[in-house]
Amino acid sequence: MIPMLDMVVFPGYNSRHCPLAFFAWKGKNDGAVSDFYSTPEAHMTNVNTPKCGCCFIISLDVLRALAQGQKIETADRATYQRAYATTQKLRLVREGHRLASLAGQQSGLALRATAVAKQPVEHVFDCKHGTTLPGTPVPDPTEPAFKTVFDTTAKVAEFYKTVLGRNSVDNQGMDLVSSLNYDQDYQNAFWDGQQMVYGNGDNKVFIDFWRSPDVIGHELTHGVTQHESGLIYEGQSGALNESISDCFGAVFAQWLADKPASDASGWLIGAGIMGPAAKAKGFTCLRDMVNPSAAHCLSRQPASYNDLDPTADVHENSGIANRAFAVFAQNLGGNSYDVAIKVWYDACVSGLSSRTTFVDFAQATITAAGKRGPTVAKAATDAWRTVDLSVEPPHSALAA
C-alpha cells in the first residue's frame, strides 16, 4: 500500500519542469476494477488530484483499484502501486504546460498569421525502462514496436491534415516526439505537454500501450485540446477534455481501419491493450462509447447526464459526452469521419473557455452542426437528448 504522505516536494522532476508538491488524502474505489482485483473493504491512500491538464489513458481510480486488489500476486500489486505513484507525480507537471500553451496562443497570433507552414517531423526515443525523457534516440525505427509507433503517429498527423485541415497538434507543424519502454512495466501511456510516452504494461491486465491506434490518437488529441481551449482537468471541463480525446481517438482508429460508424467495435476504447488476465474476466476494453456502463468495460462510466458525479474522476464522467458523440455519428450514418468528427472539431476550435461545461459544449456542437444544415443540427440535438441533456439549437440552425 502506498503510505500516507505529508507534503512532498520534487525539486525539478527533470530539466523541463518546475518544482512540484502534492498532498495526500483518502480516495475511493472504481467499482468495475474493484470487482476485478479487489474486495469492497479494501482502501488505498490516494494523492490529491491537482487542477491540471493531465493526459493519461488509464485513470488513477483504475490504477488504485488494481493496486489494492487481493486477487493478484504481490509482485503485480507492487507494479500497480508503482504505476499509481508515478502517474500521480507526473500529473503535477501538466498545469505549467497548459498555461504556457495558452500564453503562446495569445502572444503568437500575429506571428502565426504570417508564418510559413511547417510540416511536423517525427522523433522516436527508447527509455530503456528508465524514466528520463525523452530517452535514447532511435534514428532508424525499423524494430516492430518503434516502427508501429512511428507509422501510426504519422497516420494521426495525416488524419488531422486530411480530415480536419489541422497541421499537427498545435496547428503549426509541431514535431511529434514518442518515447517507448518508459519505466519498468509501466501501466499507462500519456501526453506530457510536449510528447507521447508509452509504458509496456504487465502483459497480464495490460499489454504494450502503443498497440491500440485509438490510444495513440487519444493521447495526441490531448495536445490539440492543450493548444486550443486548454480545458482544465477537473470537473466537467476535465471530463470533456477526456471525452474529446476518446472521440478523436476512436474516429482516427475507424478511419485507419475503414470502419463505418455502425460497427460497434469501432467505439471500444483501449481494446487493443487489454491483456489475457483482463480478457479472462470478460473485460474487452477500457471504455465503450456506445454503452459506457457495460459490464465488459474495465472502467465503467455513467451514460446519462442525470448520473454525472461532480466528485468523480474525469475519466468517469467523460462517458456521457462519449455516448452523445457516438449516437450523433450513428444517427448521421456512414462514416464518423465524414461529418460527425468535423462538427465536434469545429466546436473544439470555436473559442471554448477552459472551464467549459457539458451544457456549453453541447450548445457549441449544436451550433457547429447547424452550419451543416438542419438534418445535422437535429442529429446533434437528439444525441444530447439521448444522454438526458437538452439544449435547444439556435433557430437559424433549424431553419438553415
Task: Tell me the pLDDT tens digit for each residue of 182-221.
Answer: 999 999 999 999 999 999 999 999 999 999 999 999 999 9
Residues β-bridged to residue 122: 176
DSSP 8-state assignment for residue 137: E
Find the distance separating the first CA and the last CA of the chain, reported in whole Å: 59
* pLDDT, position 331: 97
Calpha distance 161→150 (Å, rounded): 17
Cis geometry, peptide bond prior to residue 50 (ω within 30 degrees of 0): no
Decide if pLDDT at 325 tops 90.
Answer: yes
> Which of the four pLDDT bands, split at 50, 70 and 90, describes residue 51?
very low
Q: Are residues 17 and 117 in the same domain?
A: no
Q: Are residues 194 and 219 in the same domain?
A: yes
Q: Which of 63, 94, 125 is the endpoint of a domain? A: 94
Mean pLDDT of the region 157-179: 98
Neighbours of 291 (CB within 10 A): 19
Calpha distance 305→286 (Å, rounded): 20
The answer to whether the beta carbons of residues 138 and 125 sit under 8 Å apart is yes
Q: Is 296 a catalytic residue?
A: no
Q: Are residues 81 and 113 in the same domain?
A: no
> Which of the four pLDDT bands, split at 50, 70 and 90, describes residue 73?
low
- Please give the residue range of the domain that contains residue 282: 95-399
> Which of the four pLDDT bands, split at 50, 70 and 90, describes residue 40?
very low
* pLDDT 10s digits, 343-358: 999 999 999 999 999 9
**Selected catalytic residue, list 95, 219, 242, 316:** 219
Q: Are residues 320 and 299 in the same domain?
A: yes
Mean pLDDT of the region 371-388: 97
* pLDDT, position 284: 96
* pLDDT 10s digits, 310-322: 999 999 999 999 9
E strand or H helix at 179, and its extent?
strand 176-180
Q: Please give the share of the chain, as a percent, with pLDDT higher than 70.
A: 77
User: Coil, strand or helix: which one is 172?
Assistant: coil
Question: Are β-strands 20-22 and 24-26 bridged in parallel, bridged antiparallel, or unpaired?
Answer: unpaired
Q: Are residues 217 and 168 in the same domain?
A: yes
The answer to whether the beta carbons of residues 70 and 42 sit under 8 Å apart is yes
Q: Is 97 a catalytic residue?
A: no
How does the average pLDDT of the chain come out, rounded?
82
Mean pLDDT of the region 262-282: 96
Q: Are residues 295 and 368 in the same domain?
A: yes
CA torsion angle for 129, 131, 136, 138 (degrees, to 10)? 60
